[in-house]
Structure 1
Amino acid sequence: MKPEITVIVPIYNVERYIRKCLDSLLAQTFANFEVWAVDDGSPDNSTEIVLEYAAKDQRIKSILKENGGYGSVLQDSIDRLESKYFLICDPDDWLARDALEKLYNFAEEKQLDLAVADKYNVYEEDGEEEYVKSIPSWMQSIKADTVYTAPEDVQKFSLFEVTPHAKLYKTSIAKGIVFPQKVSYTDFVLYMLALSKTKRIAYDQEALAYYLKNRPGNTATDVRPSVIKDYLTGFDAILKQLPQEQADRNQVLYYRLFIQLRYICKQYAKVSKDPFKDEYIKLIYQGAASLQPYRQEIYQVTMENTTKSSRIFQHGLLTPVTSHWFVKKIIKKFM
């Protein structure tokens, strides 16, 4: 029987965590799925552990490839997918026992291209679980269990948590996406570009995934200055793949890229070792310049949390003659 869902598990240096991930998958109440455990050139014993599990259950497939980063795993996997749906489960995370069943039934009953649910953040030192809603606390216009089809409403989901946790994608909306290689944060590329093709989406307000928030080596604990380049590489990949002739339709996605640029400025304030003198500030300036042709589309978007001051920063950042000054002002605010 052809699997209905493929669970993609990108693997790199996770031998300490992979068993819990695979155990959670094999314990699923939904049976018609397969696991692609993709070893991205990992130097540890992760694959040996995967092979141990594959010998016990034929739904687990061990796939080996040369190291190319998270984006290369997504690229190779999505290009070859034949299942109707897929879900990404990072190898240091795990799923609720009924996660696949609930997401699958939710998507099938509502004929969704994308189903989004909540997650728990889990902290390694004490195992504390923190319920995290995918939807922003200020957003009242999107309701749980409601199907959204208008582009503006669909794209409001870009303001949700962008990580892959508890998101079930219809495979067809991810085909054709080109992912950057050798960088992190490419799950943002997947989510944004999939939304640009989504016709039907809904939010299931229950936590179905567990995210190990603060383990050493994951992206949440990454303080390298070069993460700024990773962020902007993903930013650029999205901007280049959004069809220019559909700019009016994708206004909210361009607005979300503006929000991402502001976030990158905030992160720069945290990680830069030589503020305003290193190579990364120039990349931020370039990112702002690349978004400026879409400023009219961005100006058309008003969210529930939009304020007069945020509008001032928006206009300043997206106006060529003032852009650098506003970039610096945002960064200084977080230093």
Structure 2
Amino acid sequence: MPSISIIVPIYNMEHLMRRCIDSLLAQTFTDYELLLIDDGSKDGSWSICQEYARKDARISIFHKENGGLSDARNYGLSKATGKYTIFPDPDDWVSPDGLDRLYATAEREQADMTICDLYREDEYSRHYVSQRPQSLQAEDVLKELFSTIHGYAWNKLIRRDVYTRFGICYPKGIYGCEDQYTMAAILLHDIKIAYEPVAFYHYMYNSASLTRHYDERTYEMDMHVLEMFRTLLEGNAVQPIAVRSKENAVFVRAFWNGRDYYSSAAFRQRFASFQDRVSSLTEMTVVKGCMVAACRGWYQPAIKMVFFLFGAKQLLKRVGALFHKK
């Protein structure tokens, strides 16, 4: 039985997945199995999985019908044999000593969940993001999950039997909050938590996420996710904090992704009540002002201004990177 099962769900990632897999194979920690779950890709992802499986005996590959991220992760869990699990995304990559340090801490502390730091980066910049909890008690980390601790599964080494012990799986049929929901479900139990101050994970920020499709079904899905969290945390003291956080998330997605769907009047009608909350959503003063303007009925000019400024910022990064190379 390997010490760690690394489970990578893959869907149409032929142009990005090699960097992820190569970084996993470069780990100084070697006692792991790498499960590549091809979730019905329509590009060359499966061929790349087969190529890597021929190179390294630690790699197991699985090809299944498309069922979404959660379905692929649950499938991977059903095939995993390691003591611990971790779930990298195929468009990101990891530092070579990360698993070594995570595993050492998990074993030393006999932890069910070991949290580490991460880098948030794009092709022009990198930012270190600390994920040190204020407390290692599960109920306290659950509260922080809706403020300072990200709900990602990929920067948490989790004992595999936690999922079976508490009957937890990743929720199918939703998108965007699968990780956070599952982490919340785990943290409802009195598990042992540890923290290792290493930025194992490099989360590659994709500006294309600002242009994702948005329509009424997106809003309805976000409201459905909100109700899922409300139900999951019913009777728990953190529920009001979580509900407010998810309400804010509904607003933020609509603001960033809804420019081809909402008129200024329609945005104001739906989100006017959020103008008093905006100050808690972001530290970016210009964006904060644009959000307030959107709530007051100026959504279209506000979002155009934000995208103009964002484009200008990316251009400056690009120019700076070129200048630095010279």
- What is the TM-score when the length of structure 1 is the normalising length? 0.71
Which of 192, 204, 210 is equivalent to 1:212? 204
What is the aligned counterpart of 1:163 among 140, 149, 152? 152
Cα 1:230–1:33 change in 2 (3 A) is farther
- 8 Å contact kept, 1:38–1:64: yes
Q: Deviations over 1:40-78 (max 9, x none)?
A: 111010111111111111111111111111111122223
Match of 1:262 among 238, 248, 259: 248
Q: Which amino acid aligns with 1:260?
A: K
Instruction: Give the TM-score normalised by structure 2.
Output: 0.73
Residues 222, 134 of structure 1: alpha-carbon distance in 2 compared, 3 angstrom cutoff: farther
1:131 aligns with 2:128: yes
Cα distance in 1, alignment partners of residues 187 and 172 from structure 2: 21
What's the counterpart of residue 288 of structure 2?
none
Displacement of 1:220 in angstroms is 6.6
Which of 177, 182, 187 is residue 179 of structure 2 equivalent to? 187
Equivalent residue for 2:214, pick from 208, 213, 224? 224
The structure-2 alpha-carbon separation of the partners of 1:220 and 1:51, relative to structure 1 and needing over 3 Å to count, comes to farther
Change (3 A) 1:161 1:3: same
State whether residues 39 and 67 of structure 2, in contact with CA within 8 Å, keep that contact through their aligned partners in structure 1.
yes
Alpha-carbon distance in 1 for matches of 2:248, 2:77: 30
Identify the range of structure 1 (38-47 vs 266-275) with the bigger mean alpha-carbon deviation: 266-275
The 2-side partners of 1:102 and 1:192 are apart by 24
Shift of 1:253: 5.0
Q: How many residues align?
A: 273
- Name the structure 2 match of 1:274: 262
Structure 1 segments of 4+ aligned residues over 6 angstroms from their partners = 328-331
Secondary structure of residue in 2 paired with 1:103 = helix
Q: Cα RMSD over matched residues?
A: 3.1
**Does residue 1:100 correspond to 2:90, yes or no?**
no
Give the partner amino acid of 1:270: W
For 2:226, the equivalent position in structure 1 comes to: 235
Residue 295 (structure 2) aligns with: 332
Partner AA of 1:69 in structure 2: G
Matched-pair contact (CA < 8 Å) for 1:8–1:88:
yes
Q: List per-residue Cα deviations over 1:76-117 (Å, max 9, x = no partner).
A: 223444322110100011111011111111111112111111
| Counterpart-to-counterpart distance in 2, 1:61 and 1:32 | 14
User: What is the deviation of 1:241?
Assistant: 3.9
Kindly state the Cα deviation for residue 227 of structure 1 after the two structures are TM-superposed: 4.1
Which blocks of at least 5 consecutive residues in structure 2 are unaligned? 281-290, 300-326
